[in-house]
Chain A
């Protein structure tokens, strides 16, 4: 006996009418999940002047797009956005909802999950089905992978970081249905967005950087951390960090790589003064060439990189910077 499953949803996000990369990545994965269930892939997108994004969404795999293109949706408003989406979800009963682990996604997802009275799993890195067609949501934990399921409630909700799934191939011949969403008549007044301030990101963008230098507790102090920052600058690399480096106050939370931070896939990764714990390493496992620097020859770091330097990073990094500068001059 066949069972009809609801659609697979992607809540797409855009900034200034540009789709967030993670939204496209999610669509590639959502296509696979939709094929597994034999259901359509539906995308929800709210914004202003966002109808221009429809062809891209259809080419990326959307069978149906719920689009709210209106000044009311210009900026993300938690109550407005969640109310609209809950209404559509209650009507169309998605089996699965995928959201990006962006700042907005991480606020919106729990607002939807609580109102839909369902489960929500953070930072998944693998999504497959079990034999009962429950979505197995795998997250890195305890140095391994933890599978989480939500067997009794629907939709099954998940957030995924940018960089986990590849951007799907675009098929411009695809067709899709468009359903317009009208803004609500009354805007809730208990929360008002007064202003959105965009800040130019400092340094090289971590997620798109071809080289990533990441530092950990082994930096020892502010001066040690500054050397790691310098190394990143010399290599024109994105600067990454581990949770201990963030907790120590050296690194910004936005630089954290791993389990609850960013996922990167650079050509070259250099991990300095970190121990190679899976919480961090899971975020860099897609790197082409990996280098680790740690003063302990028995550090687990040396099992998860291609090239190992056994040295105190405070001694090694300044020398390495020096040699790199000389090499660059020679070029």
Chain B
């Protein structure tokens, strides 16, 4: 039976995340509480694991690093059908960039494993860096395939996957254990079912802190991060806008006229 880990990130609800803005005067972020949800691509990562579980049998472990509020996201993954849920939660983990995050996750994966496969979403909607999957693989000294769009063959030793590249895709044979980051095309995440929600009520979230991982404080969080934010500034791309008036037809005709006069309609 495969032992699969899925890394999930709790992100601010993307539908509301744009309410967080840089204050033009103070150059700081307006702090508003936005509900944390599962990063959309991580749902595809979880779905990939759950499909393997039903096809060939697998134990699915969800690992997330975040504040205690991120526990709700781990619970949701359990309700989707994950077997075990871990939240890496410690004040020391706060402020981590992709490097420190990947390092901390790698320590947890080593501790909780051995795993055959780790699935990650290709990127997160808030950070949008795509670095955690490949960096995690590097810290584990495992191969990684990013942007997997199809799992063609799976066994307990080697998988064949298709993954996106510039202007096409590649077919890759990868020897387990491996990290795979998934793209949206891989699958359609399932809906939550009531029976699973009820079953998940008895599954506990396991919280892991710095001491449990047994790693040095300077390797995690802000301290362990090579990069940090030095400044916030406004981006000025305002333009003088002329609103075209009239009925829909008149607006459409006026627009064509203006675009022709500006020489941009060919």
* Complex alpha-carbon distance, A113 and B227, angstroms: 12
Size bracket, chain B contacts? 35 or more
Does any Cβ of A come within 8 Å of B167's Cβ?
yes
A122 and B227 within 8 A (CB): no
Does any Cβ of B come within 8 Å of A19's Cβ?
no
A236, A290, A315, A323 — which one has the most chain B CB atoms within 10 A of its CB? Answer: A323
A320 and B252 within 8 A (CB): yes
Question: Given A114-B134, A119-B97, A323–B249 Cβ distance below 8 Å?
Answer: yes
Which of A109, A152, A304, A309 sits near B251, CB closer than 8 Å?
Answer: A309
* Complex alpha-carbon distance, A142 and B21, angstroms: 5
* Complex alpha-carbon distance, A74 and B105, angstroms: 33
Which of chain A's residues have a CB closer than 8 A to the CB of B178? Answer: 190-191
B230 and A308 within 8 A (CB): no
Does any Cβ of A come within 8 Å of B170's Cβ?
yes
Which of B97, B132, B255 sits near A320, CB closer than 8 Å?
Answer: B255
Does any Cβ of B come within 8 Å of A1's Cβ?
no
Which of B102, B169, B235, B251 sits near A140, CB closer than 8 Å?
Answer: B235
A111 and B138 within 8 A (CB): yes
Does any Cβ of A come within 8 Å of B165's Cβ?
yes
Which of B138, B164, B169, B233 sits near A147, CB closer than 8 Å?
Answer: B233
Which B residues between 211 and 266 are near A, CB-CB below 8 angstroms? 225-235, 237-244, 248-249, 251-253, 255-256, 258-260, 262, 264-266
B143 and A147 within 8 A (CB): no
B233 and A103 within 8 A (CB): no
Which of chain B's residues have a CB closer than 8 A to the CB of A319? Answer: 248-249, 252
A197 and B171 within 8 A (CB): yes
A122 and B131 within 8 A (CB): yes
Does any Cβ of A come within 8 Å of B173's Cβ?
yes
* Complex alpha-carbon distance, A192 and B147, angstroms: 16
Question: Given A190-B175, A292-B241, A144–B22 Cβ distance below 8 Å?
Answer: yes
Q: Mark B155-190, 1 if CB is under 8 A from A, else 0.
A: 000001000111111111111001000011000000
Question: Given A110-B131, A148-B229, A307-B255, A199–B138 Cβ distance below 8 Å?
Answer: no
Does any Cβ of A come within 8 Å of B14's Cβ?
yes
* Complex alpha-carbon distance, A104 and B164, angstroms: 9
Which of chain B's residues have a CB closer than 8 A to the CB of A291? Answer: 255, 259
Which of chain B's residues have a CB closer than 8 A to the CB of A211? Answer: 264, 266
Closest chain A residue to B130, Cβ basis:
A106
B225 and A119 within 8 A (CB): yes
B237 and A285 within 8 A (CB): yes
Q: Mark B90-106, 1 if CB is under 8 A from A, else 0.
A: 00000001110010000
B228 and A323 within 8 A (CB): no
* Complex alpha-carbon distance, A259 and B244, angstroms: 29
Question: Given A103-B164, A144-B235, A289-B262, A192–B172 Cβ distance below 8 Å?
Answer: yes
Does any Cβ of A come within 8 Å of B18's Cβ?
yes
B239 and A191 within 8 A (CB): no
Which of chain A's residues have a CB closer than 8 A to the CB of B134? Answer: 78, 107, 110-111, 114
Which of chain A's residues have a CB closer than 8 A to the CB of B244? Answer: 307-309
Interface size of A by Cβ–Cβ distance < 8 Å? Answer: 97
B241 and A120 within 8 A (CB): no
* Complex alpha-carbon distance, A191 and B123, angstroms: 22
Which of A188, A235, A308 sits near B243, CB closer than 8 Å?
Answer: A308
B138 and A114 within 8 A (CB): yes
* Complex alpha-carbon distance, A310 and B245, angstroms: 8
Does any Cβ of A come within 8 Å of B47's Cβ?
no
Which of A120, A147, A199, A235 sits near B98, CB closer than 8 Å?
Answer: A120
B172 and A104 within 8 A (CB): no
Does any Cβ of B come within 8 Å of A255's Cβ?
no
18 contacts between A and B (CB under 8 A): A102-B166, A103-B165, A114-B139, A120-B99, A140-B235, A142-B20, A143-B18, A144-B235, A191-B174, A193-B171, A194-B171, A196-B165, A196-B171, A289-B264, A292-B241, A304-B239, A323-B253, A327-B260
Which residues of chain A have a CB within 8 Å of any CB of chain B?
Answer: 15, 20, 75-76, 78-79, 102-104, 106-107, 109-111, 113-115, 117-123, 130, 136-138, 140-150, 152-153, 188-199, 201, 210-211, 235-236, 243-244, 246-247, 253, 259-260, 267-268, 277-279, 281-282, 285, 288-292, 297, 302-311, 315-316, 319-320, 322-324, 327
New contact pairs (19) apart from A150-B227, A196-B165, A211-B266, CB-CB < 8 Å:
A110-B133, A110-B134, A140-B235, A145-B233, A152-B226, A190-B175, A193-B171, A195-B171, A197-B168, A199-B169, A235-B265, A236-B266, A246-B184, A268-B264, A278-B235, A291-B255, A307-B242, A308-B242, A323-B249
